[in-house]
Structure 1
């Protein structure tokens, strides 16, 4: 069981946030948040459904977190355990997450893999994504895992694809020359880029590419 209370600040006011494991009673709200967070052209078939959410809380509840503001769920993050070999890094989102069902969750895995993170647009100024990511970092330490890993979308690439290749775009975002809503956010969260993975997920904005990004357990 994970629960953490933290005060956030916006417009010189304190706002209390609660990060906790999400439960079946939260499903309807989580599905609504998915729709708000990933509007078209993001594929509708990649949004959560009840079966997937049930798998998340039954197979690996430690990896299923949400954040509440004033009793209202404002975002969630989901993960699973995998045995990951950095010498064989190529994979797709569908392969490593069992298409979001996490039926391949390995309780003896060495890596916490991020399946999804989403924050309500109305709450994005509160840095709730960073708070949820910190929750998973703490889970990595608590479970004595080697790392947190995940493929980052690059939605800003769609506006630069006529000038840059996916690798050139990723390099410029990493160097700070360009800003990407997802990659730049994860860099601020402490994630380290490893490599670009083509054909990672059906994602028009990212040209189906993802930037694999890691957070190593500093205690190992």
Structure 2
């Protein structure tokens, strides 16, 4: 029986799911159909395995505590549960956050009274200290409040629970475990009738927290973007192209920019040496420079203390030609992104295939996304990135006519409004008469904003002079996005009718 049972506290594993599901259904008596799906548990374990705890007793999951790490400054004090967990993808989880946010704790009814909840809370506190996080925060239900709602306000109810004049199975337990009430939130968990949709925002402060001294501010709210409107010209060799790249990196970094964005296929001038080949062979010849350019960009990112979005370059992936680029962070790390939608011309002339990478990227200036040219014309992609917390979308592009440019511009502006984010686009100008399929270029690089009172009335933060080689330096305020999400005249992200439609990734 339970008296002789072996109790093991450990990290949750995906193979525990069936037992976990049974425990959840038993625990959520009034919300039996609200248990976590296997896909959601898998995502949590993949993103933050150390933050998912369970207690196993004789092969059964008796209790569980789930959590993520968030950058708490990004959220309004009256946040809703769904907003702070980031939906089913837990998009708000970030390794560079400062708060361990508890998203669920439950104990199977058969094992209550064994102080298992205390063990789970202690495990969270230990993890918080190990990761040097500032605090543990979560929204707590007050399930007995419905019985007192006619006579007591939430504040008076909480005061009476603190004085032990009223017992609340959740709040009383949390208070006894050194958590304090930070504030009361209305509408935190819609449908929680027992709590009358009120919740207590609970906090436990890590007294051992030490704010790390960093050369680069990881909490920047005003971010400076540098966009390169690149002039297509013939270079005598690879080193001459690199010199031009370094010129722009040097110039933009002198203004303490946080990012520099290069256009799509900016290195096309190097194709001139392959002009004796057909177009498909020439693009493969150009791809031979991609690995060298990646290392060059990584070196420049560190040397000039700037995050570089490298535009795009051809790369052979398996047997196919892809259009790829790289985020080279100033700490030396990098990520690859790919063009997902290939234009008819790219497919017919070069035999290019679409890639499969669609991700947001953590940077010292928050989460960003990168989509190459044609991809911004597909609204599903930026929406998926926005659901994962993207603040800035970078779009390197290459268009030959003003018609093509207008498609990119109009769609980029729409994406800024739809997803309540900034969108930066950068393209090439000029011509390459000796390079097949790269004859002319048209571009006007720009930074677009949402359309509300805190932003420009036309949704355009800044634009470069059309068809002229130049740089564009623009400051964007991330706090304005936070205010827009909570208090905007319209709230596109929050007001979606999820009861009618949803957008999901395919595995």
Q: What TM-score do the two structures reach when normalised by structure 2?
A: 0.39
Structure 1 residue runs of 5 or longer lacking an equivalent are 1-9
Equivalent residue of 2:121, what SS?
helix
Give 1:86 shift: 9.5
Say if 1:66 and 1:73, in contact at 8 Å, map to a contact too: yes
The equivalent of 1:62 in structure 2 is: 50
Distance 1:118 1:39 in 2: 11
Give 1:99 shift: 3.2
Distance 1:189 1:100 in 2: 29
> Which entry has the higher C-alpha Rg, 1 or 2?
2
Q: How does 1:92-131 map to 2 (within 5 A)?
A: 92-99=80-87, 101-131=89-119
CA offsets per residue over residues 91-134 of structure 1, 9 Å max, x none? 01110112354222111100000000010000011010110111
Is 2:17 the partner of 1:27? yes
Corresponding pairs, count: 207
Give 1:178 shift: 1.0
Task: Report the CA distance shift for 1:88/1:98 in structure 2 as closer, same or farther (over 3 A).
Answer: closer
The equivalent of 2:197 in structure 1 is: 208
Distance 2:4 2:88 in 1: 35
Is 2:156 the partner of 1:171? no
Give 1:50 shift: 1.0
Task: Report the CA distance shift for 1:93/1:144 in structure 2 as closer, same or farther (over 3 A).
Answer: same
Q: How does 1:51-200 map to 2 (within 5 A)?
A: 51-85=39-73, 88-99=76-87, 101-200=89-188
The equivalent of 1:6 in structure 2 is: none
Say if 2:25 and 2:32, in contact at 8 Å, map to a contact too: no
Higher RCO, Cα 8 Å, sep 6+: 1
Say if 1:63 and 1:79, in contact at 8 Å, map to a contact too: yes
Give 1:175 shift: 2.5
CA offsets per residue over residues 22-80 of structure 1, 9 Å max, x none? 1111011111111100112x372x32111111111001111111001223210100000
Distance 2:120 2:56 in 1: 11
Distance 1:120 1:43 in 2: 13
Distance 1:179 1:107 in 2: 37
Say if 1:55 and 1:103, in contact at 8 Å, map to a contact too: no
Equivalent residue of 1:173, what SS?
helix
Equivalent residue of 1:79, what SS?
strand
Give 1:167 shift: 2.0
Distance 2:88 2:109 in 1: 22
Task: Report the CA distance shift for 1:185/1:100 in structure 2 as closer, same or farther (over 3 A).
Answer: farther
Give 1:15 shift: 5.1
Distance 1:122 1:36 in 2: 9
- Of 94-103 and 145-154, deviating more is 94-103
Say if 1:59 and 1:103, in contact at 8 Å, map to a contact too: no
Q: Which runs of 4+ in 1 moved over 4 A?
A: none
- Of 149-158 and 170-179, deviating more is 170-179
Q: What TM-score do the two structures reach when normalised by structure 1?
A: 0.88
Distance 1:163 1:43 in 2: 29
